[in-house]
Amino acid sequence: MSRTDKASVAILLSGGGSNMVALADSMLRDEIHPGRPCLVVSNTPDAGGLAKAAERGIATAVVDHRPFGKDREAFEAELVKPILEAGADVVCLAGFMRVLTAGFVSQFEGRMLNIHPSLLPKYKGLHTHARALAAGDRRHGCSVHQVTPRLDDGPILGQAEVPILPGDTPEDLALRVLVQEHRLYPAVLSRFLRGETAPLYLS
């Protein structure tokens, strides 16, 4: 643990950061929450989540992946620096759109979480909402899981379901799932920091 008795949580994002906001606000609003946000890192300099973090008084860092081209290890060697400097106990991926190598993941084994917009193990990877619609599924949702070197794999810590309604577009479904992401991720993080790893199922 860090200098406070709360776990220091670093949040990694690439975009708008609505999941980061849900996580950060759940920690900042609750005095007895077991975690505190110590850092928000983006791999895209213009990510909207950076300003939202700064508004909340959370330290931010940008590690742009583009100068590194296909050299993931070199990118990650830079990415890890602010996380270590911030003394992060736990890392939450929240819309972080880079695939991480096994070497990076192993540095945070057992203390890195991800949220994915599908009911894993279904629909790992991208375009999850369109794929659920194309398959004719009647239910969809989101999952929070521990991060392992395999993409969108690792032990499930929680899932939330939504119905798929007649006429839904991928965008309709994405919005319905996102509402549940914002409920699920803070609930799972709080439990995780308290040592509870039994999956939480929300409906």
13 binds ligand GRF (CB under 6 A): yes
Strands 35-42 and 7-13 come out as parallel
91 binds ligand GRF (CB under 6 A): no
User: Can you tell me which of 117, 141, 154, 158 binds ligand GRF, judged by CB under 6 A?
Assistant: 117
- What does the block give as tokens for 166? 């007649």
Q: Is 93 exposed, middle or buried (0-12, 13-18, 19+ CB in 10 A)?
A: buried
181 binds ligand GRF (CB under 6 A): yes
19 binds ligand GRF (CB under 6 A): yes
Q: Of the ranges 24-32, 111-119, 132-140, 151-159, which one interacts with ligand GRF (CB under 6 A)?
A: 111-119
Set 65, 116, 129, 182: catalytic member:
116
Q: How many helices (H) and strands (E) does the chain have?
A: 6, 8
The residue nearest ligand GRF at its CB is 95
**DSSP notation for 14-48:** SS--HHHHHHHHHHHT-TT-SEEEEEEEESSTT-H
CA 64 – CA 75 distance, rounded (Å): 8
173 binds ligand GRF (CB under 6 A): no
42 binds ligand GRF (CB under 6 A): no
CA 88 – CA 100 distance, rounded (Å): 17
37 binds ligand GRF (CB under 6 A): no
15 binds ligand GRF (CB under 6 A): yes
18 binds ligand GRF (CB under 6 A): yes
How many residues touch ligand GRF under the rule CB under 6 A: the total is: 14
Angle between helices 48-55 and 18-28 (to 10 degrees): 10
Active site residue 33: no
Nearest to ligand GRF of 77, 149 (CB atom): 149
Task: Name residue 187's amino acid.
Answer: A
- Compute the least distance from the CB of residue 1 to ligand GRF, in Å: 26
17 binds ligand GRF (CB under 6 A): yes
CA 42 – CA 176 distance, rounded (Å): 25
Active site residues: 116
Interaction site with ligand GRF (CB under 6 A): 13, 15-19, 49, 94-95, 115-117, 178, 181
